[in-house]
Structure 1
Amino acid sequence: MREQPPYLRIADAFRQRIADQDWMPGDRLPSRAQLAGEYGVGDNVIRRAQELLISQGMLEGRAGSGTYVAEPSQRLRMVRSQYREQQGGSPFRADMAALGRRGTWESRTDAKVPAPEEIATRLGVAGGTPCVRTTYEFLVDGKPAQLSTSWEPYELTAGTLVVLPEGGPHAGKGVVNRMAEIGITVTHAVEQPEPGHADAEEATLLGIQRGVLVTRIRRTYYGDDGRPVETADIVLPATTCEIVYEIPVRG
């Protein structure tokens, strides 16, 4: 068997010290130089071990201060459910209200943005087709918790009151209810979650460190004729958000 890389061995040792309560939540870890001397490894090994545990939510780095044992926190429960879509309003706001938290969001919409090839494929249109792109930053009690970038074919809603997802009389009502206003029945959505690591822009927007584990969800809504009407890329920090799917069962 291949020998375990040194930084993984050190990360295991740090986990054990936290489990044994040698290091308690809120405690500041010794300096990297001190830890390197204690474990007989280089500073770089200590750094990689700490970065791994930071990405897993066990440690947190504070600029200019050092590395600390993270305080335990309740993960935000994000429910993905057909029922919530049918109830109208914002599923995100409903999820946060159920936790006694305040869910809001900020958005920016750009019309007639040429669809990149991947987005065009997901929407079943030609590359470069004009789309309405809306970027969202979802907030919990005023702090960033989730990102999303939504794309809709411009020709689908052009000239209607729902062309701007966050503008007009139907602002903020969600894809399903907005499409219903123009006679399109959304019958289902397909979601594909996968793990990843926050890039520099995502880390800045979410207030997390670059490289922290995130869950990415590629979601596409379909009308009753099978045509995609919207697709989105959703990003959630894995250490602070848990995703729960409600699946209808018909007897």
Structure 2
Amino acid sequence: MTSDRRLPAYQRLRDEMARRIAEGEWGPDAALPSENRLSAEHALSVGTVRKAIQQLVDEGLLERRQGSGTYLRKPAFDATLFRFFQIREHGAATSIPTSRLISRTRTHAPAHVCETLGTDDVILIHRLRCLSEQPLLCEEIYIPAARFEGFDTIPETEIGPLLYPVYFERYGIFVARAEDEVHFGTADARTASHLGTKEGHPIAMIERTAFDMAGTAIEWRLACGRADRFRYRSRIG
């Protein structure tokens, strides 16, 4: 383990495992080494290993599967945007909407995106999400070109409805957490056309910043949906 030796052993092991995950040593569908194996590999007690793993579980990076082992957790953060726009057909549960890529362009980021991502050399993705053929969300997504080289030329058939699995499988970038901020505005002509509403009509706007395991911002997106379809529910207590 190469982290600060002043840290407790379980914390140093946690950092070492996070580094190995970030480098792609363990894939999302392969079990991590057992606690006994990690204990022998690092000359630490099983209790120390268990504490390090539990910290990664608590942070949302790993998950325990009873009778199977410990695995890299694959949170579907893409799908969480739709908690704000729940459209159901005949009482059926909401599924992940379909995705249509409108455009992908290498460009210079606006100032606020540049500040968030730490670069103005980005790939801009415009995407439309639909459910039961109804336009649901119009998305403007920025990712750093240096970390996602060639994303603008990947065949659309190889991308699918969720982007985060593509980030991991093609680039080894695991989205560990995301922050959403919701506000409201009015639709410009482009957004109104995609959402099937009129220019100037109210829309809900969700700004999302996604972070990798090192806490570095790797995506900024703006998702817009019709305000008359917006719902927010909060349970307290």
> Is residue 153 of structure 2 the alignment partner of residue 171 of structure 1?
no
How big is the shift at 1:89? 8.2
Distance 2:111 2:222 in 1: 14
Alpha-carbon displacement from aligned partner over 1:80-136 (angstroms, at most 9, x marks no partner): xx99962588567996678536732321332421212222112122x3x2x121111
Question: In 2, are the aligned partners of 1:146 and 1:236 still within 8 Å (CA)?
Answer: yes
Distance 1:221 1:172 in 2: 19
Partner of 1:242: 231
How big is the shift at 1:222? 0.5
Distance 2:235 2:219 in 1: 21
Distance 1:141 1:196 in 2: 25
Question: In 1, are the aligned partners of 2:182 and 2:207 still within 8 Å (CA)?
Answer: yes
Rate the CA distance shift 1:169–1:218 in 2: closer, same or farther, 3 A: same
Rate the CA distance shift 1:166–1:193 in 2: closer, same or farther, 3 A: farther
Rate the CA distance shift 1:165–1:191 in 2: closer, same or farther, 3 A: farther
How big is the shift at 1:144? 1.5
Which structure carries more strand by proportion?
Answer: 1
Partner of 1:15: none
In the alignment, structure 1 segments of 5+ residues that lack a partner are 1-81
Partner of 2:116: 122
> Is residue 138 of structure 2 the alignment partner of residue 147 of structure 1?
yes
Partner of 2:104: 110
Distance 2:179 2:82 in 1: 21
Distance 2:190 2:103 in 1: 18
Partner of 1:30: none
Q: Which moved more, 1:171-180 or 1:110-119?
A: 171-180
SS at match of 2:104: strand
Distance 2:233 2:152 in 1: 29
Distance 2:153 2:176 in 1: 19
Q: What residue identity is the alignment partner of 1:151?
A: Y
Rate the CA distance shift 1:97–1:240 in 2: closer, same or farther, 3 A: closer
Max Rg structure: 1
SS at match of 1:204: helix
> Is residue 213 of structure 2 the alignment partner of residue 219 of structure 1?
no
Query: TM-score, with normalisation over the residues of structure 2?
Result: 0.55
User: Which of 133, 138, 159 does residue 129 from structure 2 map onto?
Assistant: 138
Alpha-carbon displacement from aligned partner over 1:171-225 (angstroms, at most 9, x marks no partner): 1263432232232222111111111122222222211122222111110110111
Distance 1:88 1:190 in 2: 10
Question: In 1, are the aligned partners of 2:101 and 2:156 still within 8 Å (CA)?
Answer: no
Rate the CA distance shift 1:87–1:215 in 2: closer, same or farther, 3 A: closer
Q: How does 1:37-48 map to 2 (within 5 A)?
A: none
Rate the CA distance shift 1:91–1:245 in 2: closer, same or farther, 3 A: same
Q: What residue identity is the alignment partner of 2:159?
A: A
Q: What residue identity is the alignment partner of 2:229?
A: T
SS at match of 2:160: coil
In the alignment, structure 2 segments of 5+ residues that lack a partner are 1-59, 64-72
Q: How does 1:84-103 map to 2 (within 5 A)?
A: 86-87=75-76, 100=92, 103=97
Rate the CA distance shift 1:244–1:174 in 2: closer, same or farther, 3 A: farther
Alpha-carbon displacement from aligned partner over 1:31-59 (angstroms, at most 9, x marks no partner): xxxxxxxxxxxxxxxxxxxxxxxxxxxxx
How big is the shift at 1:165? 8.9
Query: TM-score, with normalisation over the residues of structure 1?
Result: 0.53
SS at match of 1:186: coil
